[in-house]
Amino acid sequence: MGNRIAIENLENFDFSDIFGCGQCFRFNQTGEGEFEGVAYGKYLSVSQKGNKIFLDASPEDFFGIWRDYFDVGRDYKKIFETLRRDETLKRASDFCPGIRILKQEPFECLISFIISQNNNIPRIKKIIESLCENFGDKIDCGKKACFSFPKAEKIAGLDLRELDAIRSGFRAKYILDAAKKVASGEIDLDSIWKMGVGEGAGYLKRIKGVGDKVSACALLFAYNKLEAFPVDVWIKKVLAKYYGDMDYMGIFGEYAGIANAYLFYYEREKGAGGS
């Protein structure tokens, strides 16, 4: 419909779950079922009413960016039903059945999860927005000012004093190291598409400050490697609380990353409150 895309009857898709589960930090809610944000240097406004999904985007951008970004082509109903054989995952997925794993721009995703270390979501979002406002390019998004995520080359040309502007604390040296290694070609982010999870994680860990959790987040949320399983404080609590000594990876299987997203969101929003 002109520069508006409408999708009907797409199962297991909900913007509130997608943007609320902690996998990305540049989309914000603007109304009931309405969100706006920036990804791949483009501003996007989306909304959802019942079984209808709307994206304010040209057909070219939808098929070139957003269809893959939102993983529209994958059968999440099958994944949902497979994971629900486990009782804990049944409860968690009932809470947030509309989660889909985004395919984010790799450098942005990597830096975002470096920033996420020992941090909370409101502060992560604030630091990322400051990074974009200070060092990104201004883009068209109507009446308000929006900025793209800065390129690795731009950040690599900065020094730690200049990065003080974003108030990222100890993470600044890690941001700078990542940017320099990507900009120089020492780390080739495109090469990770062809790597398995173990090899990809080891490769990313050549960057200072990138450990198991950050590398797993990048592999899952940028490269769509659904078997990647990030472990943070919340997931450690989930595993201890519900699985104990059980072989949880054997239970989650090839969809471990989606199981992770269900469990993280459920425990953070509901399980931790004892509901």
Comparing CA positions, the residue from 264, 274, 273, 271 lying closest to residue 20 is 264
For 103, phi and psi rounded to 5 degrees? -110, 90
For residue 271, give both structure tokens: 């399980």
- Distance separating alpha carbons of residues 155 and 111, to the nearest angstrom: 11
According to DSSP, the residues that pair with 29 across neighbouring strands are 35
Determine which one of 173, 213, 237, 270 is catalytic: 213
Side-chain-side CA neighbours of 95 within 13 Å: the count stands at 21
According to DSSP, the residues that pair with 138 across neighbouring strands are 147
For residue 171, give both structure tokens: 């993470």
Q: Decide if 192 contacts 204 (C-beta within 8 A).
A: yes
Q: Decide if 252 contacts 263 (C-beta within 8 A).
A: no
For residue 81, give both structure tokens: 């039903």
Sequential DSSP letters for 146-175: EEPPPPHHHHHT--HHHHGGG--TTHHHHH
Q: Can 237 be counted among the known catalytic residues?
A: no
Catalytic positions, written as ranges = 213
